[in-house]
């Protein structure tokens, strides 16, 4: 059975229609190729309350929610803040791994503030806004997600 996923593009300019969302479709395709069923795609502005509300709502029915955008350090980048607010637990090792792998591709990977956390039985993963960066980051940790979702759902025979 496929795991359900959602892709949230978080970008003021994409939300206003001033820029084409290239990252969202790339991530949807990659998830589909890896046995996830992408059941929701949204484009949101860089607004913490709107992001937090969407994450909370989607996590009720969808197991894996990836966001793209808003992980940098510009004033409008608030995706990590929204994610921290709604997640009951953060998986620091997943963000560490994304940055460590990202550093092999870009010298600025260390500036990404993207988080990974859990809400109930769902996992939220913050990816950068750049399409190449978003895809590379997702590839670097995607192997962890099905196992993590099993553990969250109570299949705990292989504990970590």
Binding residues for a second copy, per CB under 8 A?
69, 71-77, 89, 91-97, 99-100, 103, 106-113, 118, 128-130, 133, 141, 143-144, 147-148, 151-152, 154, 156, 158-160
In this structure, the dihedral spanned by the alpha carbons of residues 102, 106, 111 and 115, taken in order and rounded to 10 degrees, is -20
Q: Render 102-123 in DSSP notation, one character per residue.
A: HTTT-TTGGG----EEEETTEE
Rounding to the nearest 10 degrees, give the CA dihedral for residues 106, 115, 4, 120: 170
Q: For a second copy, give the closer residue by CB, 1 or 160.
A: 160
Residue 28 C-beta: closest distance to a second copy, Å: 20
CB of 153 to a second copy, least distance (A): 9
Q: Are 108 and 73 in contact (CB under 8 A)?
A: no
Find the shortest distance in angstroms from Cβ 15 to a second copy: 15
Q: Shortest distance, CB of residue 158 to a second copy, whole angstroms?
A: 8
Measured from the CB atom, the residue of 62 and 78 that comes closer to a second copy is 78
What's the token pair of residue 114?
A: 């993207």
């Amino acid at each position: 059975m496929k795991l359900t996923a959602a892709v949230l593009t978080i970008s003021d300019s994409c939300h206003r229609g001033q820029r084409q969302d290239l990252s969202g479709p790339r991530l949807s395709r990659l998830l589909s190729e890896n046995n996830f069923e992408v059941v929701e795609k949204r484009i949101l502005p860089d607004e913490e309350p709107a992001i937090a509300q969407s994450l909370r709502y989607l996590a009720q029915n969808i197991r894996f929610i990836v966001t793209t955008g808003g992980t940098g350090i510009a004033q409008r980048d608030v995706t990590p803040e929204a994610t921290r607010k709604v997640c009951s637990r953060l998986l620091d090792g997943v963000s560490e791994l994304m940055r460590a792998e990202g550093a092999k591709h870009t010298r600025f990977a260390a500036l990404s503030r993207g988080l990974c956390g859990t809400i109930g039985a769902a996992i939220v993963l913050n990816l950068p806004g750049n399409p190449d960066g978003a895809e590379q980051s997702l590839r670097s940790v995607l192997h962890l997600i099905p196992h993590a979702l099993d553990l969250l759902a109570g299949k705990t025979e292989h504990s970590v």
